[in-house]
Structure 1
Amino acid sequence: MKRKRTHPRRPITFTVGSSAPTTNNSPSSPTKKRKLSTTQRINEFHALTKRLAHIQKQIQSTNQSQGQLNNHDDNNEETSISHGTTNGTLEDEAARVKEAIEALGGLHAYQRASLKGGDESKGRGACGKWLVGMLNKYVVPSRDGMGSRKSEEKEESAKKVDRLKLLDIGALNGATYAKQRAWIDAEYVDLNPQHANVIRQDFFERPLPRNKADLFDVLCLSLVVNFVDDPERRGIMLMRARQFLVPSGLLFIVLPLPCTKNSRYMTHERIVEICKAIGFEEIEFHFTKRLSYHLWRRVEGHNTKKAVSVEKKMVNPGAARNNFSIIVK
C-alpha cells in the first residue's frame, strides 16, 4: 500500500489590502532535538529576565514606601526593620534569578542560541532575505528604475544613486545585508556584539537625530521588541524608531509567532492599531511557522505632539495563552 504523499506547509504572505485566508493554524513544534533545545534555552532566558524585571520593580516600590515611612516617622524602628527584611528577601530572590540566568550562559548564550537558529535558510537569516525582497518591491524601483533590472545591473546602477541607509538594531553577525552593500549602507548595533562589524550600543540611549544625516531609510527590529521585558518600554522603542526614520521611511519588525497568534493581549489587528497610533501604516506582513514579519511605513502629517495612548487590553482570552503586550503612553 502506497503511503499518501504530503506537502510541507507553505509560509503565508499578505500585502495589506489583499484578501487573507481565514485559517489560523498554530506553529508546529520542532521535532529535532537540537532545535527543541535551542527553543527551550531562549524561552527559559525570556522567562527569567521577565521574572527579574518584576522583582526589581518590587524592590523599587518597597524602597519608595520605606522612604516615605521614614520621612513620616524617623523613630518607627519596627516598621523600618520590617520593610528592610522584605527588601532583603526580594534582593535574595533577584540574586537567585541572576544566578539561574548565568547558569544558562547569560545574554551571550541567548544570542548564540538565536544565531544558531538564524542561518541563511531559517530564522533571522531568512528575515533579512525577506526584507531585501520587500525593498526591491517598494523602494528600489523608484531609484533609477533599479527594480526591473538583473541583480548585477541593479548593483551597478546603485552606485549612481545614494545607498539606502539601514539601521539594524540587535544585530548578531553584522553581515545580514553584506551581499547588498552596493545599494544598502547598513549599520549594525547591539547591546553585546558577537561580531566585529556590530557596534556596542543600547538603542534606548542612542542620541536622537540632530539633522538629516542622522536619519535612516530603513530601521530593523528583528526579534528585539519581544526581548524588551516591559510592555511600556516596547511602546517607547517603537516611538523612538519613528524618530530615526526619514519621511516615509520603513520600519521592519519581526516577532515570534506566539506573540501575535497566542497572546491574550495581542493579535495582528491589535498591532496594526498600535502602529497607527504611533504614526505608521502597515504595508506588508508575512507568517512563517515560527515568526511574523511586519513592514511599516512612517506616515507623514501625524501629530507626534498629540497625546497617544494604547492601553493593555484583553483581546484573545485563554488559559494557555501568553501575556505578550505593547503599551503606548
Structure 2
Amino acid sequence: MVRLPPLNNLRVFEAAARHQSFVKAAAELHVTHGAVSRQIAQLEEQLGVILFERRNRAVFLTREGLQLQEACAPALASLAEAVERLRHPPADAPLVVSCEPTIAMRWLIPRLGRFQQRHPAIPIHLFAAGGALDFATSRIDLALRRDDFPRDTTLYSAPLGREWVGPVCSATLAERLAKGSAPVRLHTQSRPDAWTRWQQLSAQHLAWGGEQRFEHFYLCLQAAGAGLGLAIGSLYMAVDELADGRLVAPFGFVPDGSRYLLLSPSPIDADPRRVALRDWLIEEFDASAVALQAGACDNA
C-alpha cells in the first residue's frame, strides 16, 4: 500500500501551486510564509523530488510539481465536497434510524405515516436493533433506545418520554382475574426483571397459576393478547391495543425510572431532517402518555 504524505502538507502545496506564491498561500491558509515554506520542504523531502523552483523571490512549479498539482487539486476538492455533504446533508436525504424491534413494530411503524404526511421530503430507512450502537461503522444516523444499557456519554441524547410499565392481558383473562382466577405469569428474556421491578414499584403481590417464558418482548406481548397469561407491558408498545380493547391493563401503569432516548453521534440542530424527527417523536410520545393520564388505556 502506497504511503501518502500528510494531508496538511498536500493542502498547503495545493494552495501554493494554485497561487504560484507562498505568500498568497499563507494568506489564504492564515499561516505565516515560513510555515508554508516548511510544509513544502517537508513534502519535497517525503517525495524525494523538487516541487518548486525558487528564483528571484518567486516560485515556479517543476514538472513534478505540475504532475502533483494535476492529481492533488481534484482530489482535495472531492474530499472537501464529501465533508460538506456529511456536515450538511441535503434536505431530501433519507434518515437511517435504528430502533428497538418491539417498539418499532408495535409503536413507531403504525405512526410513521403521520410523519411522512407532515414531512414527505424526509424518507425514513428503519432498521430493527437494540442495545449499544457503533455509529462509526453502522452507517446509522439516529437510534431510538431505552436507556437500559451503558452508552457513550459523548453521544447527543434527546429524551423522548418516560417508560411506563404494567401487566397487560386479554379482556377474557381480565374477567377471570376479577373473579379470583390465578393467571399464568409471562416472562421475557429481554426484560428478565420486569415483574420484580413492577411489584416493587406498584406494591402489588399476586398469586400465580404458572409461569411461561418467551425469548423476545414482542412474543410475550403477543402471548398476552392471545389470552395465555399476564405480561409486563410497556405503555407505548401496548397503547394501540389498549385503546381498541385488544389488551387490558387491569392494574394500570407505573413509571419504571427508565426513558426512551433519541441518540446521535453529534448534535442535530444543524440538520433540519433530524430536528423534524426528534420533535415529531417527542410529540408522539407525549400523546401516548396523555392517553394514559386521561384513562383511555387504564382498564382497571
With normalisation by structure 1, the TM-score equals 0.23
With normalisation by structure 2, the TM-score equals 0.25
* Structure with larger RCO (C-alpha < 8 A, sep 6+): 2
